[in-house]
Each structure stands twice: as structure tokens, then as C-alpha cells.
Chains A and B, each alone.
Chain A
Amino acid sequence: MDANMAVIGLLALPLVGAPLTYLADRLVLRRGGKPRLGQWITLVILLLSLYILAIFWRSETRREGVWLLVGSISLHWDGLSVLLAFTTLLLGSVVTLFSGTYLAGEKAHDKYFPLLLLMIGAIIGLGASNDLFNLWLWFELMAVSTYLLVAFYPQEKGSLEAGVKYLVQSAVGSVLILLAIALTYTFAGTLQLDGIRARFSDLSAPLWVAGCLFIIGFGVKAALVPLHTWLPDAHAQAPSGISAMLSGVVIEAGLVAMLRALTALGAAETHWGILLMGFGALNMLFGNLMALRQHQIKRLLAFSSVAQVGYMLAGIGVGLAYQQPIALAGGMFHLFTHALMKGLAFLAVGALLYALVISHHQHTPLTVEDVCGAAQRYPLASLTLAIALLGLGGLPPLAGFMSKWQILVGGFSAQTNASVALMIFAGLNSVLSLGYYAPIVNRLYRHQASEAVLKGNPLPLVMILPLLIVALGILVLGFVPSLMNPINDWAASSILGFGIR
């Protein structure tokens, strides 16, 4: 299989798999069985996609990137696409493995995996599009599948409320993106990302406006402060596997889409970079301060995602503003490690939530008080949660430390006052974030177990296994961070050198 075939396979597999999964589960249901088949089909499809990605990675021709023409749509597969696809498929497989038992009691079980596959397929496609409109189309497909997944518990008030807010705010953002696309098309005469970039060495006023619209439009999904207000609701109310996907890859997909659109308007790269640096500072501070006083764990983790996006923005902003590949690669690395860490955090909390609440057929949120002493009954779930939280707090030797380090190196290498000041600010924020991560870890390891823990049900191995896999990944990347260097560096260079064939 050559590189082109591999890319086509990657794009097609999840999208073809989605209806297949649904059909399989419906057939099983009709025969009165339990809908377990869909989960395994999904897992097979995702692992197969990962295998194809590996084939692509090892092919000779990949370095120049792959340009494809499907009908009249041109697709471009470069480092950024690989990073996004790898992150999504990896986290997606783990979530699939985790979610089967978690959802066993739910009515809409059969719709979960098809929607998950659809979302994953949309994100992979989003990374590959080389056309503004195509980019929006994938983005919207991703959004629609997540609307349904956020409002997954139709009987729960919170779930519905979060779904409505998420939908309406996303729709407003989507309209802004469309306006920007129309503007760009009017004044650039083309929708090809590389074509637009090649055309302008200086932007006219309407294109500047389009750039702002892109930042805000995609920024709604990427949770820039103050557009983040939907995030804590949606991430806290969704089923835990979906929370992991939303925090781990969906907001990052928004970020990648924004990057793609902005690199097309690359003539003003410095300006966009500085704006993103500003948003980065705002996100870090706001997210951390808000998380400091939260009592519901999933909501706390959601606010921490707002803060973590800030670090990525800082890396990407410095990278764009000062043409620093190190900072960009750091931002990309943090995108990956954050997916692992936040994914793990949500899954581990989900495991606890399942054991303490959901297996009793309830849907109350898990508070920090509920997990007191959880380590005694659920040692592995607690350990992995602790690893995820401390990793998010930036403690070595966990992956989160290394990716933040790379961002900081990038900021200092730029050797400008603004970038260095932003990095110092990021460092201070990282310390501040320990103020809410550390107490949770302490609570997990109490002797005096909370009532919820005492009444909790045992956890099945199939839920623990995915947690252990991700935790191992976080540890390994902490000691050997350079494993991800080739992908990160390629992603960074394909952003900075975008469209150069």
C-alpha cells in the first residue's frame, strides 16, 4: 500500500464503519441480544486505521506530504494531519474499549459508537482538508456528531441543557466561519488554502476582518476565553468517554482548524500569533482560577481544559509570531500529551463515577468529597487518576511536564520580552494549577473512605485496562519525550512552511 492509498483508507474507514456499526447493533437488538457487537467493530476499525497510519508513516514518500484530488476537492496530508489523526485514533480506541461497560445500562447505547466513529472520521478529514469550505464541512460534521453525544442522556436535565447551549453557541461560531469564508472567497477568488497563501504578501482590510472571524468562529470550539462558556457544561455532562474525546481532541481540532485557516492568511502571521498569545495568557489565568473553586470533579477538569488550551495557544502563538518551530512543535506536543492526560483523567473519573454512581443507576455528579479514600477500594483507578492530574499540573517525569517544557524553550528561544514574559506567566500558572490538582490526589489517598466509596460496586477489568495503557504512555513519554519529536517537528514545519510544494 502506498502513501496515497493509505490516506484514502484513513479517510474512508471510520466513515464507512459508522453506519456498519449502527446496523450491526440494530440487528443484534432486533434479535433481542445485547448490543455489544458495535463496540468491537468500532475498536477493530480504529485499530485498523492506526495500522494504516503506521504504514503511511513508514512509506518512503511521506516526507513531502500527500496531495490528493477526490473529485474537485483537494486534500493535503501533512504533519499536522498525521498528529491530529494519531491523537484522535489513539484516544478513540481507548475510549471505545472503556465505554462498552460504562454505557451498558443506557437506552441509546446503539447510537454511541456510530456517532463516535463519525466524529473521529470527521476530525481525521478536518486535518486533511486543503480548502476552506471543505474544512468547514468536516468541522460541522464533527460538531453535529458531538451535539448528539453531549445530550446523550435524554432524561437528564443537565445533559439537555448542556446540549442546547453547546449547539446554539457552536452554530453562532459556525456562522462567523461561513461569513469569513465568503469574505475570503470574495477577495481572494479561491478557497484553496495554499492558493490563498501564495497569492498575498499583504492582506487587504476585508481579509483582516475574515481573519478575526476565523479566530472567533473556530475559537468557540477551541474554547478561547470568553467564548468558552459552553465547555464546562458540555464536558461535565457528557458520558465520560465523550468528555475524554471532547477535551482530548475536539477542542484541539477546533484549534487545528483555526490554524489552517490562519495559515492561509499567513501574510499577517505575526499579528495572529500575538493575538493567540494574548488568548493563551487569558485562558491559562481564567481556567485555573475558575477550576480552583469547583466541587464537581468533571467540571473542574473541564475548566482545567480551558487552562491547558492556553498553554497550547501560547506555544502556537509564539511559534507564529516569531517563526519559532520549537514553540510550535511544543504546542503540538502539548496537544498530544494533553489528549492523553485529560483523556486519562476523564476516563479514570468516569471509572470512579461508574463504580460509585452509574452502576447504582443514578446520574448525580461526582464531587471531590465523594472520591475521598477511593484508593483503598479502587487502587488502580485512583493511581491512574493521580498520574493524570499530576501530569496536568506539570510535574516531571510525566508527559505534561515535557510538553510544557518544550513550549517554554520555544518562548525563551524567541528571546523577545513578550514571549519570555508569557512563558514566565505560564510557569506561574502551572504552579497555581497544582493548588487544585494536588488536594484531589490527597483526597484519593485518605484512610477514611467516603460513604459513596463504601457503597461502591467493583470495577470490571475492561475499564481498568484502558486506564493502565494511557498511564503507561504518559510515563514513557515523560522519560523519553523525544519519541514524539518526529511527528511534532513535522507538524510544526508543515504549519510554518505551509503550502510550499
Chain B
Amino acid sequence: MDYLDGVIVLLVVLGLVGIGIYAIMVSRNLIKIIIGMQVMVKGVLLAFVLAGRVSGNMGLGQSLALTVIVVDTIVAVVALALAVRVRRRFGTLDPRALTTLRR
């Protein structure tokens, strides 16, 4: 892999993480926010693969990525469960409704 490839992958990583954070900040739906979190983590996975490649230990990079996927799935499940509860209790998924705790 030459230098240019690395830069391109890096840009994709940053792009994915940026998109994810942007989604979290502007979405008006909790599900979309959770999707945003997922997109961020996908960027990170790519970063791990890149790191494994650059440091010449592709196997380790991949196994790290796999572990991240597992953990991330658990987080997503918990988040979705919370979202379900929120929908039942608040009657909406809009994060702007979740502002009873302030000041």
C-alpha cells in the first residue's frame, strides 16, 4: 500500500466519524442518532484496519476491529432498548423532548 492509499483511507475514516457526529448533533430522531453512532464506529473500524496495515500486523488490526464490532453491537442494543422505552414513555423519539433535566 503506498502513501496515497493511506491518505485516502484516512480521509474516509475522518469523513465517516464526522458524518456520525454531525448526525448525532442535528438528528431529530433517536434512531437516527443511534445510526450516527454506528457510522462513527464504522469509521473507527477502518482506522484499525489501516493501522494494522501500516504497522505490518494485519491480523491484529482485524482482530481489534472484530472486538470493536462486538462491543459496539452491545452498546447499540442497549441504546435501542432505551429508545423503545423513550418512545413508550415520552410518546416521541425527538431528542428535543428529552430536556426535562436542565439547569
Contact = CB atoms under 8 A, between A and B. Distances in A.
Interface of A: 133, 137, 140, 143-144, 147-148, 151, 154-155, 157-158, 160-165, 167-168, 171-172, 174-175, 178-179, 182-183, 185-186, 189, 232-233, 236-237
Nearest to B76: A171
Contacts of B68: 178
Contacts of B71: 137, 140, 144
A160 B83 CA distance: 9
Nearest to B34: A168
Contacts of A163: 82
B21 A133 contact: no
Interface of B: 13, 17, 20-21, 24, 30, 33, 37, 40-41, 43-44, 47-48, 50-52, 54-57, 61, 64, 67-68, 71, 74-75, 78-79, 82-83, 85-86, 89-90, 95, 98-101
24 contacts: A133-B67, A144-B78, A148-B78, A151-B82, A158-B101, A160-B85, A161-B98, A161-B100, A164-B30, A164-B98, A168-B24, A168-B37, A168-B79, A171-B37, A171-B75, A172-B24, A175-B17, A175-B20, A185-B51, A185-B52, A185-B61, A189-B56, A189-B57, A233-B101
B82 A162 contact: no
B50 A168 contact: no
Contacts of B24: 168, 172
A172 B51 contact: no
A352 to B, nearest CB: 21
Nearest to A134: B67
The listed residue with most B CB atoms (<10 A of its CB), out of A143, A147, A162, A175, is A175
Contacts of A162: 101
B11 to A, nearest CB: 14
A126 to B, nearest CB: 14
Given A140-B71, A179-B44, A185-B55, A172 B21 contact: yes
Contact of A175 (B30, B40, B86, B90): B40
Contact of A179 (B17, B30, B56, B101): B17
A175 B42 CA distance: 10
B55 A155 contact: no
A154 B83 CA distance: 11
A501 to B, nearest CB: 23
B55 A160 contact: no
Contact of B33 (A133, A160, A168, A178): A168
A179 B47 contact: yes
A178 B55 CA distance: 16
Nearest to A165: B98
Given A185-B51, A185-B52, A186-B50, 20 more contacts: A144-B71, A144-B78, A147-B75, A154-B89, A157-B89, A160-B89, A161-B100, A164-B82, A164-B95, A167-B75, A168-B79, A175-B37, A175-B43, A178-B47, A179-B17, A179-B47, A182-B44, A182-B48, A186-B55, A236-B101
Contacts, number: 103
A158 B82 contact: no
Chain A, interface SS category? helix
Contacts of A164: 30, 79, 82-83, 86, 95, 98
A157 B90 contact: yes
Contacts of A185: 48, 51-52, 55, 61, 64
Contacts of B99: 161
Contact of B75 (A144, A183, A232, A236): A144
Contacts of B52: 185
Nearest to B86: A160
A189 B64 CA distance: 14
A144 B74 contact: yes
B89 A155 contact: yes
Contact of A186 (B54, B79, B82, B100): B54
Contacts of A174: 75
A137 B51 CA distance: 18
B5 to A, nearest CB: 14
A62 B41 CA distance: 39
Nearest to A177: B44
A182 B47 contact: yes
Contacts of B55: 185-186, 189
A236 B41 CA distance: 29
A174 B75 CA distance: 11
Contacts of B82: 147, 151, 160, 163-164, 167
A171 B85 CA distance: 19
Contacts of A147: 75, 78, 82
Nearest to B78: A147
B41 A175 contact: yes
Contacts of B75: 140, 143-144, 147, 167, 171, 174
A211 B5 CA distance: 25
A306 B40 CA distance: 28
Contacts of B78: 144, 147-148, 167
Contacts of A155: 89
Contacts of A167: 75, 78-79, 82
B84 to A, nearest CB: 10
A160 B68 CA distance: 26
A183 B44 CA distance: 10
A151 B83 CA distance: 11
